[in-house]
């Protein structure tokens, strides 16, 4: 039976955070990457069949305001710590995709007694290779065609700017500004996070799009090796967004791990 | 009116097939395409041209740009330092170290105080906001570039004007707990400060701060609008009226003995627009902070919509983004550039007339900044243009005294 995705707002420290809610069951917070989850995203509906999904838009993304000087991952981590407290579930699981994976890993370290399970999807946040080998494609400083090719297994899944409405394009660029503030320097990672990953207590599933060119599967494997007991799986025919390119396989993996 | 000569020291000697094929001639073009021996010749030629200006009584200014064929002056303080020692008479303007790209404004203040001492007070400090490709080559956050710009100016000014031992600065972008430079500036309280900016919001801030306001290649309408925003902001803040001495305009200028020679020289300067502005979409239209989000429909779509969505002029800043300005400038001919007030070229009489027509259109200005050598213009051609301008045009401009503008 299809589940309905409904928009909502949760006030956290004076910030009206836009959230999508979907389904019923064990609570799970979905932390998005470069763009917030779309209200009609199939993966939300699929997850909602077995889980209670709460998908917020980070400040500056979607319709969530970004207060003046709210510009850092430090701010985001305080926001989500408060939001998790406000939701009130004794335990909640986290799905962190891309940039949101960095936040999810940090939150699992900060709130070990509140975070049930952790799913990291093509997650950013750590430094793996040597100092002259970038792990994460610089989406701001390389040609947009290169970024598109690296992001999608099938480039036809990329957003079509010509087909998008003004408001959607404005929101897209606003998200890009916010992402730039949060992740410009050091680029999309914290130099010390890899050191702390082994301290994550939550059972962890690392999922990776086999064709991801933003962060390659080898990065995901390294991340999984750093988290004790973490499981690693690749999703075929998917790039940086397996939740969009292969929503069914994605949901099967997530539900298999979270709802068993 | 005063005149200030400059050359950005461009490097045009890259095969056109390479620049045509490259998506950007800045930030990402490999520096193996720049022969350091040719660069050395260019540096020495242009420094000699600056020295000629000094001899002829024309002020000089030095810019800074990074990592591209448009300019080899990546280190403004080095060239400024050389000018500080090699000039004897004229004033030297640094326009300037790109402060929002430098991590420590205190160090910039230290360099500027040193330059002012070397020049025994013949020094002026200019600030330029930067952005685009230079954000990539400097690794600096683009979205709050302008915030850093103003905070850096505040910290530099405080550093130059503090003489009673260390002070502490804990701002949003800069922290420096022990600021106490030696020496301080030669001029008290500090050298005159300039800022180059065109959008109404920062033009207003330049006005409130009483800085000399320079517009670069903006043409009469954009320039007039920015000067007006400057004056309006002062009026609204209850600040005294200023004179035309607070306003400056930077254009490409070449003077020849004949109209044809002048326009031929002017045409060579257009290389700057036709070749050196080329920059990839990630450095201009998609760069966060380069344009307000409201401009996104016009920037992202490959096929503009008939209804156009939100017009660019409705955007937050009220101006077209830098990428659109660049697009307009890239295809210009000399005649078009002259009509648009971004090139003054011809005989001394003709150039003087063009400058004064522009002066009248924008409500007056006290400083003309000459982009005087660019592209394939030779050292000899450049020196000839400098001589003719200094001897035949500059004396007439000097007769234009500052007038109060409110």
- Tokens 């200014």 locate to B61
Pick from B141, B283, B310: CB nearest A180: B141
**Which residues of chain B does A169 touch, with a Cβ-Cβ cutoff of 8 Å?**
296-297, 300-301, 309
Contact B300 A177 (CB under 8 A): no
Q: Yes or no: say if A62 and A18 are a contact pair by the CB < 8 Å rule.
A: yes
DSSP B63: -
CA distance B269 to B255: 12
Contact list, A184 vs chain B (CB under 8 Å): 141-143
Residue whose pair of structure tokens reads 């080559």 in the numeric block: B137
pLDDT score for A259: 80
CB < 8 Å from A in window 49-88 of B? none
The answer to whether the CB atoms of B293 and A171 lie below 8 A apart is yes
Give B377-386 pLDDT, tens digit per residue.
Answer: 999 999 999 9
Strands B175-179 and B167-170, sheet pairing: antiparallel
CB contact under 8 A, A140 and B287: yes
Please give the backbone phi and psi of residue B126, each rounded to the nearest 5 degrees, phi first: -115, 150
Q: How far apart are CA B150 and CA A127, in angstroms?
A: 33
> Using the 8-state DSSP alphabet, how is residue A50 labeled?
T
Neighboring chain A residues of B309 at a CB cutoff of 8 Å: 166, 169
**CA–CA distance, B302 with A237 (Å, rounded to integer):** 28
Q: Which pLDDT value is given to residue B291?
A: 86
Report the gap between the CA of B281 and the closest CA in chain A (Å).
7
Which of B283, B297, B303 comes nearest A166 by C-beta?
B297
Å between A74 CA and nearest CA of chain B: 15
Predicted confidence at residue B316, as pLDDT, reads: 35
Tell if the CB–CB gap between A180 and B136 is shorter than 8 Å.
no
Structure tokens at B156: 């530099």
| Angstrom distance (rounded) from CA B351 to CA B357 | 10
Q: Which letter does DSSP use for residue B35 in this model?
A: -
Q: Would you state the structure tokens that stand for residue A177, as one six-digit string?
A: 């500004």
B29 vs B69: CA distance, rounded Å: 8
% of chain A residues with pLDDT over 70? 99
Contact: B136, A174; criterion CB under 8 Å:
no
- Burial letters for A204-242: b for 16+ Cβ neighbours within 10 Å, e otherwise? bbbbbbbbbbbbbbebbebbbebbeebebbbbeebbbbb
Give, in order, the Cα–Cα distances in Å from A126 to each of A220, A223, B36.
10, 8, 39
The residues with which B405 forms a beta bridge, in sequence order, are B242
Characterize the bridge pairing of strands A26-31 and A92-97: parallel
- In this predicted complex, what is the ipTM? 0.94
Is residue B322 over pLDDT 70?
no
Enumerate long-range contacts of A165-170, CB under 8 Å, 24 or more apart: A166/B296, A166/B297, A166/B309, A166/B310, A169/B296, A169/B297, A169/B300, A169/B301, A169/B309, A170/B293, A170/B294, A170/B296, A170/B297, A170/B310
Q: Does residue B197 contact residue B145 with C-beta atoms inside 8 Å?
A: no
Instruction: Tell me how far apart the alpha carbons of residues A101 and A122 are, in angstroms, rounded to a whole number.
Output: 7
Q: Tokens for B195?
A: 């800022």
Q: List, for residues B72-91, the tens digit of each pLDDT value.
A: 999 999 999 999 999 999 99
What band does B239 get if pLDDT is binned at 50, 70 and 90?
A: very high
A235, A210 contact by CB (below 8 A): yes
Q: How many Å lie between the alpha carbon of A158 and the closest alpha carbon of chain B?
A: 13
Pairing of strands A15-22, A51-56: antiparallel
Q: What integer pLDDT is reported at residue B406 of this predicted model?
A: 79
Q: What is the pLDDT of residues A102-117, one digit of tens each?
A: 999 999 999 999 999 9
Residues of B in contact with A140 (CB under 8 A): 136, 142, 282, 287-288
pLDDT in tens, A204-222: 999 999 999 999 999 999 9
> Cβ of B168 under 8 Å from any chain A Cβ?
no
B294 contact A CB<8A? yes
**Would you call A170 and B296 a contact, using CB atoms and an 8 Å cutoff?**
yes
pLDDT of residue B352: 98
Query: What's the mean pLDDT in B196-207?
Result: 95
A177 with B144: Cβ contact below 8 A? no
Quote the DSSP letter at residue B312. G
Question: What's the half-sphere exposure (Cβ side, CA atoms, 13 Å) at B180?
Answer: 7
Per-residue pLDDT at A26: 96
Nearest residue of A to residue B133, measured between CA atoms? A141
Gap from B14 CA to chain A (nearest CA, Å): 22
Half-sphere exposure of B330 (CA within 13 A, CB side): 12
Is there a contact between A176 and B297 if contact means CB atoms under 8 Å apart?
no
Task: Tell me which residue of A76, A89, A82, A79 sits closest to A28, measured CA to CA.
Answer: A89
Report the distance separating Cα A183 and Cα A102, nearest Å.
10
Give the model confidence (pLDDT) of A56-67 as tens digits.
999 999 999 999
Map out the domains of chain A with their CATH numbers.
Answer: 5-258 (3.40.50.1820)
Q: Is A232 helix (H, G, I), strand (E, B) or coil?
A: strand
**B296 and A CB contact within 8 Å:** yes
Alpha helices in B192-347 (DSSP H): 200-208, 219-236, 259-269, 271-274, 296-300, 322-330, 334-339
Pairing of strands B247-255, B367-373: parallel
Task: Point out the residue among A144, A177, A184 whose CB comes nearest to the CB of B282.
Answer: A144
| Tens digits of residue pLDDT in A8-52 | 999 999 999 999 999 999 999 999 999 999 999 999 999 999 999
Sign of the torsion angle spanned by Cα atoms B322, B324, B329, B335: negative
pLDDT of residue B304 exceeding 60, the answer is: yes
Q: Is the pLDDT of residue B307 over 60?
A: no
Per-residue pLDDT band for B17 (boundaries 50, 70, 90) equals: very high
Whether residue A237 contacts residue A154, with contact meaning beta carbons closer than 8 Å, is answered with yes
d(CA A19, CA A16): 9
Nearest Cα of chain A lies from the Cα of B170 at a distance, in angstroms, of 15
The domain locations on chain B are 2-272+336-405
Contacts 24+ apart (CB under 8 A), B21-25: B22/B278, B23/A143, B23/B278, B23/B280, B23/B281, B24/B68, B24/B133, B24/B278, B24/B279, B24/B280, B24/B283, B25/B68, B25/B69, B25/B70, B25/B275, B25/B276, B25/B278, B25/B279
Residue bearing tokens 């939550």: A202
What's the DSSP call for residue A12?
E
CATH node for B2-272+336-405: 3.20.20.30
């Amino acid at each position: 039976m299809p589940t309905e995705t409904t928009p909502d707002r949760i006030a956290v420290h004076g910030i009206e955070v836009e959230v999508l809610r979907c389904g019923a069951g064990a609570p799970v917070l979905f932390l998005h990457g470069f763009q917030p989850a779309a209200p009609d995203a199939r993966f939300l509906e699929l997850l909602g069949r077995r889980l209670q999904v709460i998908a917020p838009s980070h400040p500056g993304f979607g319709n969530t305001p970004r207060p003046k000087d709210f510009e850092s991952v430090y701010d985001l981590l305080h926001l989500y710590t408060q939001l998790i407290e406000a939701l009130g579930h004794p335990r909640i699981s986290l799905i962190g995709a891309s940039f949101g994976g960095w936040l999810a890993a940090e939150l699992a370290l900060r709130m070990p007694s509140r975070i049930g399970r952790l799913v990291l999807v093509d997650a950013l946040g750590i430094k793996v290779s040597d100092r002259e080998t970038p792990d994460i494609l610089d989406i701001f400083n390389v040609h947009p065609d290169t970024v598109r090719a690296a992001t999608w297994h099938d480039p036809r899944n990329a957003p079509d700017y010509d087909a998008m409405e003004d408001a959607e394009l404005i929101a897209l660029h606003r998200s890009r500004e916010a992402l730039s503030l949060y992740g410009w320097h050091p680029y999309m990672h914290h130099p010390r996070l890899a050191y702390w990953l082994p301290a994550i207590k939550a059972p962890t599933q690392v999922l990776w799009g086999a064709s991801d060119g933003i962060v390659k599967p080898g990065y995901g494997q390294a991340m999984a090796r750093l988290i004790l007991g973490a499981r690693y799986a690749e999703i075929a025919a998917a790039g940086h967004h397996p939740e969009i390119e292969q929503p069914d396989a994605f949901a099967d993996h997530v539900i298999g791990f979270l709802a068993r | 009116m005063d005149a200030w000569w400059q050359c950005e020291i461009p490097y045009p000697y890259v095969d056109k097939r390479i620049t045509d094929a490259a998506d950007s001639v800045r930030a990402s073009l490999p520096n193996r395409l720049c022969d350091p021996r040719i660069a050395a010749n260019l540096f020495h030629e242009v420094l000699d041209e600056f020295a000629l200006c000094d001899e002829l009584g024309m002020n000089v200014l030095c810019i800074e740009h990074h990592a591209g064929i448009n300019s080899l002056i990546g280190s403004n303080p080095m060239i400024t330092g050389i000018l500080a020692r090699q000039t004897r008479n004229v004033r030297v303007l640094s326009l300037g170290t790109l402060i929002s790209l430098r991590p420590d404004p205190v160090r910039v203040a230290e360099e500027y105080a040193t330059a002012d001492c070397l020049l025994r007070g013949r020094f002026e400090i200019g600030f330029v906001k930067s952005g685009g490709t230079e954000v990539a080559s400097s690794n600096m956050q683009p979205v709050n570039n302008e915030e850093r710009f103003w905070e850096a100016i505040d910290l530099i000014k405080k550093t130059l004007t503090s003489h009673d031992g260390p002070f502490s600065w804990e701002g949003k972008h800069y922290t420096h707990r022990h600021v106490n430079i030696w020496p301080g500036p030669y001029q008290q309280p500090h050298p005159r400060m300039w800022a180059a900016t065109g959008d109404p919001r920062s033009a207003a801030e330049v006005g409130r701060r009483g800085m000399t306001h320079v517009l670069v290649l903006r043409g009469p309408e954009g320039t007039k609008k920015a000067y007006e925003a400057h004056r309006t902001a002062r009026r609204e803040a209850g600040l005294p009226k200023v004179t035309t001495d607070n306003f400056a305009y930077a254009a490409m200028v070449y003077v020849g003995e004949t109209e044809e020679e002048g326009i031929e020289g002017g045409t060579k300067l257009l290389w700057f627009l036709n070749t050196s502005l080329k920059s990839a979409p990630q450095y201009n239209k998609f760069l966060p902070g380069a344009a307000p989000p409201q401009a996104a429909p016009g920037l992202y779509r490959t096929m503009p919509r008939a209804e156009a969505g939100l017009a660019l002029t409705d955007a937050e800043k009220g101006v077209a983004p830098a990428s659109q300005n660049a697009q307009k400038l890239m295809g210009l001919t000399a005649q078009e550039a002259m009509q648009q007030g971004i090139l003054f070229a011809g005989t001394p009489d003709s150039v003087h007339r063009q400058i004064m027509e522009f002066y009248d259109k924008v409500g007056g200005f006290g400083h003309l900044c000459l982009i005087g050598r660019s592209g394939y213009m030779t050292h000899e051609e450049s020196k000839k243009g400098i001589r003719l301008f200094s001897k035949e045009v500059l004396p007439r401009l000097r007769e234009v005294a500052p007038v109060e503008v409110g």
